[in-house]
Structure 1
Amino acid sequence: MKTFKSLLVIFLSIHFGNAQNINPKEVKDVMKKVADWQMDHINDSYNNKKPHHPLHWTNAALYVGMSKWAEMADDDTYYNWLKGIGNQNNWQLHERKYHADDHAVGRMYAALYRKYEQEEMLEPTKEQFSFLMHHPAKTKLDWATPYHQDRWNWCDALFMSPPVWADLYSITGEQKYLDFMFEEYKATTEYLFDKKENLYYRDERFKDKFDKGTKIFWGRGNGWVYAGLADILSNLKPQTKEYEYFLDIYKKMSEKLIEIQTPKGHWAMSLLGQEFYPTPETSGSSFFIYGLTWGINNEILKGRNYKKAVVNGWNAMASYVDENGMLGYVQPIGAAPGNASADKTEVYGTGAFLSAGSEIYKMVNDN
């Protein structure tokens, strides 16, 4: 009898994974706590720098997660907060016409348009992207080229701009948005994707560099790529050439990510060098959890290993939220592996955490 009970426990563990270790109510509670803390501290200066402009990419990443939380929340407080930011800025993108960072706030505009269907929310973005399609940047992707960031020649750019193009394609049904994005995304991937490791270099400068004998793949940069892939795929029609292209990258990265996840549940700041970077980093790790859980929820990623990875990851991320709702261990603005600590946060870390929570909640609430 004892043997039968033991076998039953093993079977249930394998069949259902570890999702039962996460309580749906607790997921919503910690998400609300983090969202409310961040709204109260939106004008703080992080890491001894001035408060971010409302349309800055840092805040844009926050709005991505906040939009997902607003959809889950039990009142319109969060939607109203996001709408207020859009109205105050006349639904404009940020300052630089070509720079991907300054397109990222378009993610929020698209999310709000889907809820309210108010044309003014998307018109400035559509107008600017029309200009870009008619006057595309011709610069090379080399880092030393003048105006090199007029194209997506750093990996985190693939989170900032391409999903906005995918949103416009999905919302309008106009193929031109997808065509432009698809060609530019392929150019970046051919330039920065390591086909052996199935990870992206942050930019050209890291291709031939090594850190203590390991290739340098920045955790947060790859986290942003991976989350962006999930959002792009959400906007595409299955079985199309574009969907299959992005799905192939997504699956390759997914396999790599569960292979290199640390025993504590996070991912190292230098993804292949966890022994040299033991400190957690919650912004990149949260986006990995978001992307992996999205794949589970959409029945793309199957098997116990994926569910185990996201459960361990989410439990780790939630443990880094302090009693007030501040998410710690967020690496400051940078472009390479660095430092993080329990008392350091940033708005984009909150956005990543809320994105992860939105998919975790769907996973555990459906069980």
Structure 2
Amino acid sequence: MDQHHDPHDMARGIADRLLEHQFQCWFYGDSIGFEGLIAASDLLGDPTYRSFSHGFFRAWATRRQPYQPDDNTAPGHVMCAVVGETGDAVLRAGVIDLAKHLLARRKIDGVSVTFEDTLRSLREPYGDVRMTSEEAVLLGDPGAGIYLDCMHFDPPFFAHLSELGAGTEWADAAVREILGYRSLLLDPETGLYCHFWLEKTGRVYTRGWGRGQGWALLGLLDVVAHLRTDAAGRSDVAEEALRLARRMVDYQLADGNWHALVHEPRSGPEASTAAFMATAFYRGIAIGVFDPREFREAADKAYAAMIGNLDADGNLMGVTAAVYSALVEEHYWYVPTNQIVPWGQGPALTAMAARKNVLQLDD
């Protein structure tokens, strides 16, 4: 897409394609997808996308039980934003009910178990990739696991609930959970988060998944943004966001993009990471966590890369399909690309909104 294309037309194209997505209650990517729709209404001054989201959330709230295994992927943070804007009492009751359900799940080192049976996510690897006999046996019965994506789900949701006056215990839960992921998933060699951890083996798998670093960094920043400045642990979360952002700048390519596994050139290009990082870098600048003198250039490069990855119809090209997960790192090299999905369209819109906020600060 022409970088000089009218930004309103560009945002509308991206949002309209996102609106065509058949959202479910709930699935991975819904959190950033609905956040993107809300951002589109703000960018365009058009209530259509916000109204669609509110209606979808309200319909869910009236039939939210029995809870489903993927309800941990519900866009709780975004639903809290709608509650704050509208005062919708039915939706407020729904999100508090959901948060209590999520908080009650089994914990490991303070972090909620994502899957009691990770067969819901683990799969045979994409590509002509062979597993060892030990990996094949483990794939048959992998047990419970904790996944990086969830840094974008529960902790920002809990932090936002605390901001809505649901109780200070939600702020404590947000900090405890988000920092718990660091203890379980951070790889000290690369300074990046691994995709998942299995209880059965007690180890992590797959370092440096690009979109996963986006889930992590946005989760960290959103917790900071919605906690009181004097909240216990807030400064620790901000410091971790800064550390991870610096590592991602280290791995940024000359064209502003990142590899699918950001430390591994053989994993090939992947486009959603630039949209996630543009959102994160601009958002971190706007809330005062990142110094613009250090991050503005990287933010602008990521944003320019994102614009270059858009086609004339507002599709963010080069985005991988749902990765799920695999025990073999090479799986991530071969995930199909050019998927028009919420985790591509959504962060493209949030990046535009975050950039607009920073440009307003410049003025």
Instruction: Give SS of 1:200's match.
Output: strand
Deviations 1:91-119 (A, max 9, x none): 5658656x575343222321211211111
* Separation (CA, whole Å) in 1 of partners of 2:352 and 2:70: 26
Please identify the structure whose Cα radius of gyration is greater.
1
From 38, 51, 68, give the equivalent of 1:80: 51
Shift of 1:125: 1.9
Q: In the alignment, which of 285, 288, 296 is matched to residue 307 of structure 1?
A: 296
Tell me how far 1:305 sits from its aligned partner: 4.4
Structure 2 counterpart SS, 1:197: coil
- Indicate whether 1:37 and 2:17 are aligned: yes
Q: Deviations over 1:191-245 (max 9, x none)?
A: 1112443321111269576xxxxx7211111111111111111101224332111
Kept after mapping to 1: 8 A contact 2:116/2:145: no
Q: Which has the higher strand share?
A: 2
TM-score (norm 1): 0.79
1:291-330 aligned at under 5 Å gives the runs 291-330=280-319
SS in 2 for 1:237: coil
Deviation at 1:69, TM superposition (A): 2.4
Distance 2:211 2:231 in 1: 29
Q: Which residue of 2 aligns with 1:15?
A: none
Would you say the 8 A contact 2:309–2:316 is kept in 1?
A: yes
Number of equivalenced pairs: 327
Match of 1:122, SS state, is: helix
- Range with greater deviation from structure 2 (323-332 or 194-203): 194-203
Moved more, 177-186 or 155-164: 177-186
SS at 2:223 equivalent: helix
- 1:1-367 matches, within 5 Å, as 26-39=6-19, 41-43=20-22, 52-90=23-61, 96=67, 102-133=72-103, 135-138=104-107, 146-147=116-117, 153-172=146-165, 174-204=167-197, 216-273=207-264, 275-279=265-269, 281-334=270-323, 335=325, 337-339=332-334, 343-367=338-362
TM-score, normalised with respect to structure 2: 0.79
Structure 1 unpaired stretches of 5+: 1-21, 44-51, 210-214
For the 8 Å contact 1:154–1:202, the answer to whether it is kept is yes
Q: Identity of paired residues, percent? A: 17
Once the two structures are superposed, what CA deviation does each residue of 1:107-152 show, in whole Å capped at 9, x if it has no partner? Answer: 232121121111111212212323454x441567799994579998
Unaligned 5+ residue runs, structure 2?
Answer: 121-142, 326-330
User: What residue identity is the alignment partner of 2:40?
Assistant: W
Q: Distance in 1 between matches of 2:66 and 2:302?
A: 36
When structure 1 is superposed on structure 2, of 193-202 and 137-146 the one drifting more is: 137-146
How far apart in 1 are the matches of 2:93 and 2:152? 21
Distance apart, 1:324 and its partner CA: 1.3
8 Å Cα contact 1:152/1:185 also seen in 2: no
Q: Is the 8 A contact 1:170 1:236 kept in 2?
A: yes
CA contact (8 A) 2:163 2:226 kept: yes
Q: 1:324 to 1:359 in 2, by over 3 A?
A: same
Alpha carbons of structure 1 residues 223 and 182: separation in structure 2 relative to 1, 3 Å:
same
Q: Please list every run of at least 4 consecutive aligned residues from structure 1 whose deviation after the TM superposition is greater than 6 angstroms.
A: 140-145, 148-152
Amino acid at match of 1:110: C
| Cα RMSD after superposing both structures | 3.1
Q: Deviations over 1:223-276 (max 9, x none)?
A: 111111111111012243321111111010111111110111112111111x21
| 1:153 to partner: Cα distance | 1.5
Q: CA-to-partner distance for each residue in 1:170-200, whole Å, 9 max, x for gaps?
A: 1115111122233233332211112443321
Instruction: Give the residue type in structure 2 aligned to 1:354.
Output: L
Letter in 2 for 1:357: M
Cα deviation for residue 157 of structure 1 reads 0.8
Q: Does the 8 A contact of 2:33 with 2:346 survive in 1? A: yes
Deviations 1:313-336 (A, max 9, x none): 111111111111111111110136
Distance 2:310 2:50 in 1: 23
Q: Secondary structure at the match of 2:24?
A: coil
Q: 1:104 to 1:308 in 2, by over 3 A?
A: same
